[in-house]
Amino acid sequence: MNYCHVRLKSDVRCLPEALVENDADILAGPDVISRLPALPTPSHVIPSVSIPFYDDVQATLFGKELLYEEMEYSWGILKPFLETGLITLKSGLLPYKKGFCCQRCHTTSKKSFGCFDCFRCHKKCVYCRHCIMMGRISTCSVLLRWNGPAPKYHYNDILLKWDGTFSNGQQKAASKIIETILEQADILVWAVCGAGKTEILFSGLEQALRIGQRVLITTPRTDVVLELLPRLRKVLPTTSIAGLYGDSEEKHNPAQLIIATTHQTMRFTSTFDTVIIDEVDAFPYTADHSLTQAVTKAKKQQAATIHLTATPTPLLKKRVNANRLPCVRIPQRYHGFPLPVPRFQWIGSWQTRIENRSLPASCNKWSQEHIEQNIPAFLFVPSVAVLEKVTDLLKEQWPAVEGVHSGDQERLQKVNQFRKGSIPLLVTTTILERGVTIPGVDVAVLGAESAIFTESALVQIAGRAGRSKEQPGADVVYFHFGKTNGMVAAKRHITTMNRESNQKG
């Protein structure tokens, strides 16, 4: 499909070739969309006549930029929207310096683009591999953008159903969050693992939603979306809430509160008044510059940004130290008990031992004690290859042991079985380093010296332990073959937070 710039009365519109009625109106094209010059976005359009499917199309497209392939409507139905300027078209990829820039994920890195002989444009077509999981976007793809009024929400009856109590630290952070939302400013909420950081959002969310704001909570992990969704639906029963992640069915639900993986965030454009970035430092957010841009793209020019994490990145810390980003710290867990401090256990060349099909003695003993005493235990390992070997070795002794990694299709089931107690010990890669809460769990890291176990990863892993009020103490052990800076820094991080918490409390 090729596209044209067409003069309609006093306006210039971009239309697919098939919708052009009069060739004499054509100002440019027909051509592949990326070769047409960009048109200025028309000022906001208010429809003067009723258009079939108006509400549905608005609900699908408002606040987002979607590929034509993602729309459930044909060009025929979309025609009046395009002619009136309610929907505008733009190219999916645009030339940028010597390469391209993906208009959805904003990637410009050369290795993210592929080239193929395209049946649609009959040319060599360049496409973005970086966001391919959301459907291929190429030099002949069009993005549709809503340029009409926002859908109306019933936000007069927003209701917060929560009557928990706050610790001092939580109270302070909650008030700061409300201030930030009202002032449309930025803030870093630095809360230790288990500080109850979801709860401190509640009153802020209520305020924002009540004044009609659209709010985005974005997190790198699907697991976190799945955990937050039911909790927020329970405490905000009258709010329209949608959860967007890989397989979710709610992609086109124009809810007032959106909980999305960072990838799904890429579909949105200048639409949110408040953005909460949960676990700001977590993979892939910092690993991936384009996701930072996705968040920037998703929020309005005037918007509040709340960074929520236990382990801020050096960049965030730098901004805080330079007084460019306000910060509120919660050094204490909601139950008031200190964070379990990790202990180090040297185990020698564990990799050689695993190759010879045995586990380091102290690690095996740790596993045995936990399984025999019915204490749930996480064993973190540095890679999928190690995971498979270690799981096999443990299974030989205790068949109920299981392993999970990011590519594991049964990941969610296994975590649930672990929660219920039918899996006594779960071997895992860093995929479960945050978000998952199991009462009374002890935690070990095998090969804590591996590069993947950074300070922040080790702090997060230690943070899995001792989260419940009933069992605040826990054993956290880093099995290692040589102490690293990361391990030492993680331990220091935890003891510093405990000291600060003592002084305040």
Partner 1 sequence: MSYCLYCGENTTPLTSWTSLFLPSSPSLCSECVASLERITGNVCPTCSRPQTSATVCEDCLRWENSSQWSGLLEQNYSLYMYNEKMKDVIARWKYRGDAVIGYGFHQPVVSVYNKYFNGYVPVPIPLSKERAEERGFNQSEMLASFLQRARPPSPSIEHALIRSIHEDKQSKKSRQERIHSVIQPFQFNKKSSIKGKNIVLLDDIYTTGTTLRKAADILKKHGAKKICSITLIRG
Residue 125 engages partner 1 in binding (rule: CB under 8 A): yes
Q: Considering only the stretches 116-124, 278-286, 318-326, 468-476, report the one whose residues sit in contact with partner 1 under the rule CB under 8 A.
A: 116-124
Residue 136 engages partner 1 in binding (rule: CB under 8 A): yes
Q: How far is the CB of 110 from partner 1 (least distance, A)?
A: 9
Residue 143 engages Zn ion in binding (rule: CB under 5 A): no
Residue 131 engages Zn ion in binding (rule: CB under 5 A): yes
Nearest to 475 by CA among 316, 335, 369: 369
Residue 130 engages Zn ion in binding (rule: CB under 5 A): yes
φ, ψ of residue 54 to 5 degrees: the values are: -55, -50
Q: Hey, CA dihedral for 133, 136, 137, 139, is it positive or negative?
A: positive
Residue 289 engages Zn ion in binding (rule: CB under 5 A): no
Residue 121 engages Zn ion in binding (rule: CB under 5 A): yes
Could you say which of Zn ion, partner 1, none residue 97 binds, taking C-beta under 5 to 8 angstroms by partner kind?
none
Nearer to partner 1 (CB atom), residue 131 or residue 423 = 131
Residue 410 engages partner 1 in binding (rule: CB under 8 A): no
Q: Are 166 and 284 in contact (CB under 8 A)?
A: no
Cβ count within 10 A of residue 14: 24
Q: How far is the CB of 114 from partner 1 (least distance, A)?
A: 4
Q: Considering only the stretches 102-110, 206-214, 253-261, 366-374, report the one whose residues sit in contact with Zn ion under the rule CB under 5 A.
A: 102-110
Distance of alpha carbon 403 from alpha carbon 379, whole angstroms: 9
Nearer to partner 1 (CB atom), residue 129 or residue 231 = 129
Q: Which of 41, 96, 114, 369 binds partner 1 (CB under 8 A)?
A: 114
Residue 262 engages partner 1 in binding (rule: CB under 8 A): no
User: CB-based burial of residue 348 (10 Å sphere; 0-12 exposed, 13-18 middle, 19+ buried)?
Assistant: middle
Q: Which of 78, 102, 236, 445 binds Zn ion (CB under 5 A)?
A: 102
Nearer to Zn ion (CB atom), residue 66 or residue 140 = 140
Residue 246 engages partner 1 in binding (rule: CB under 8 A): no
Distance of alpha carbon 455 from alpha carbon 487, whole angstroms: 6
Burial 280-295 (b: 16+ CB within 10 A, else e): bbbbebbebebbbebb
Residue 267 engages partner 1 in binding (rule: CB under 8 A): no
Q: Considering only the stretches 39-47, 122-130, 288-296, 455-463, report the one whose residues sit in contact with partner 1 under the rule CB under 8 A.
A: 122-130
Lookup: tokens for 46: 């208010």
Q: Are 50 and 37 in contact (CB under 8 A)?
A: no
Q: How wide is the angle at C-alpha 267 spanned by C-alphas 408 and 156, nearest 5°?
A: 105
Could you say which of Zn ion, partner 1, none residue 105 binds, taking C-beta under 5 to 8 angstroms by partner kind?
Zn ion
DSSP single-letter state for residue 402: E
- Tokens 């952070």: give the residue: 173
Nearer to partner 1 (CB atom), residue 31 or residue 288 = 288
Residue 135 engages partner 1 in binding (rule: CB under 8 A): yes
Distance of alpha carbon 338 from alpha carbon 329, whole angstroms: 15
Contacts of 378 (CB under 8 A, 6+ apart): 425, 426, 428, 432, 438, 441, 442, 443, 444, 461, 464
Residue 272 engages partner 1 in binding (rule: CB under 8 A): no
Distance of alpha carbon 245 from alpha carbon 227, whole angstroms: 12
Q: Concatenated DSSP letters for 406-433?
A: TT-TTHHHHHHHHHHTSSSEEEE-GGGS
Nearer to partner 1 (CB atom), residue 130 or residue 197 = 130
Could you say which of Zn ion, partner 1, none residue 131 binds, taking C-beta under 5 to 8 angstroms by partner kind?
Zn ion
Residue 266 engages partner 1 in binding (rule: CB under 8 A): no
Q: Which of 7, 44, 120, 289 binds partner 1 (CB under 8 A)?
A: 120
Residue 116 engages partner 1 in binding (rule: CB under 8 A): yes
Q: Which of 49, 133, 322, 451 binds partner 1 (CB under 8 A)?
A: 133
Nearer to Zn ion (CB atom), residue 131 or residue 193 = 131
- State the distance between the two ends of the chain, measured CA to CA, in whole angstroms: 66
Nearer to partner 1 (CB atom), residue 6 or residue 126 = 126
Nearer to partner 1 (CB atom), residue 69 or residue 183 = 69
Element (H, E) at 242: strand 241-244
The torsion defined by the Cα of 478, 484, 488 and 490, in degrees rounded to 10, comes to -70
Contacting positions for Zn ion (CB under 5 A): 102, 104-105, 107, 118, 120-121, 125, 128, 130-131, 140
State the residues that interact with partner 1 by CB under 8 A: 111, 114-120, 125, 127, 129, 132-133, 135-136, 138
